[in-house]
Amino acid sequence: MTKGDARVPPGARVCMRALASGLQSVSEARQALEEIYARQLERAEEERTEANASVSGDGAARAAFLTLLPPAEQRRFFLQTVQRRAMWPRVRSLFGTPPYSFLKPEDANVLRATGIAPNRVNMAHEAATATNYSEFGEGHFVDRVGRLYKVVAKERGGSREELPWRGLRAAGRVVADVRIKKTATSKKVGVLRGNEGPLALAALVFPRVGDRLRLRLVDVLSPPSGAGDLVATGQDDDAEDEELSVRVAVGRQKAANSPVARLVLDVE
């Protein structure tokens, strides 16, 4: 795959780094995902897979969907995909279990949630909410203590075609969800007592308003080694966003005891 060519060869498994490095726009990401999801449906049909059971490649396809598209495009892709009845038995393995944070409240009954997961009632949350823990995919950025960040909106600049992790300096201010790792209670107690050191302690709490952070693009979105001259490929501007200095302007936890919070970040 070359720069600007997001096509996925038939029979190939999803390699996130190779796929992301070939993308120049949301439209290209969507096209690649359409091919990937069609291939996964074909594989499930060939193997006569039972409803809601996974086939090889489903997890990678879901991770690509969750990573490459911004929330509005995720919703659009999902609603288009489930128009095909053949896709209904594949929803759980290719999108996860509902409710989905990328759907709007009015989408709550687009499908019967109990057919996907017996203990689920609605396809969407009752109100707009931060990203679900399981919907971060590979994420977009990580900080020095391992907290994972997913960009969900930009204040200015760019367009609907701009990939979520690009153009953040031009945007100036971005909305990003942050996820801290789930930790067993027994281990958490030791960390909170300071037994594991300050970095381990910081990894268990959300960034606070006023904190300045250094964010690094996750490895799977970084240009592959040997990708060539960035200037020659026209990607020199992207290199600026591989590492970002940001200041937390606003922070709000998704819910009590949730390991996810929504932040507003000023890019410095």
Per residue in 176-210, pLDDT (tens digit) is 999 999 888 777 777 777 777 888 888 999 999 99
Where residue 126 falls among pLDDT bands split at 50, 70, 90? very high
* DSSP letters for 78-131: HHHHTTSGGGGGGHHHHH-SSPBTTS-GGGTTSS-GGGT-TT---SB-SS--PP
Same structural domain, 160 and 110: no
Of 60, 80, 115, which one is at a domain's C-terminal end?
115
Same structural domain, 261 and 232: yes
Give the number of domains in the chain.
2
Same structural domain, 83 and 176: no
Of 115, 142, 176, which one is at a domain's C-terminal end?
115
Same structural domain, 102 and 146: no
Same structural domain, 103 and 187: no
Same structural domain, 79 and 154: no
Is pTM beyond 0.85? Reply is yes
Residue 245: which of 181, 177, 179, 172 has the closest Cα?
A: 172
- Asked if the structure places residue 4 within a domain, the reply is no
**Residue with structure tokens 């687009």?**
110
Same structural domain, 184 and 251: yes
- Asked if the structure places residue 125 within a domain, the reply is no
Where residue 229 falls among pLDDT bands split at 50, 70, 90? very low
CA within 13 Å, CB half, 23: 29
- Asked if the structure places residue 2 within a domain, the reply is no
Cα separation, 196 vs 40, whole angstroms? 43
Of 59, 85, 115, which one is at a domain's C-terminal end?
115
Where residue 226 falls among pLDDT bands split at 50, 70, 90? low
**pLDDT beyond 60 at 18:** yes
- Asked if the structure places residue 83 within a domain, the reply is yes
- Asked if the structure places residue 207 within a domain, the reply is yes
- Asked if the structure places residue 3 within a domain, the reply is no
Q: Which domain holds residue 180?
A: 133-267
- Asked if the structure places residue 141 within a domain, the reply is yes
Same structural domain, 98 and 162: no
- Asked if the structure places residue 54 within a domain, the reply is yes
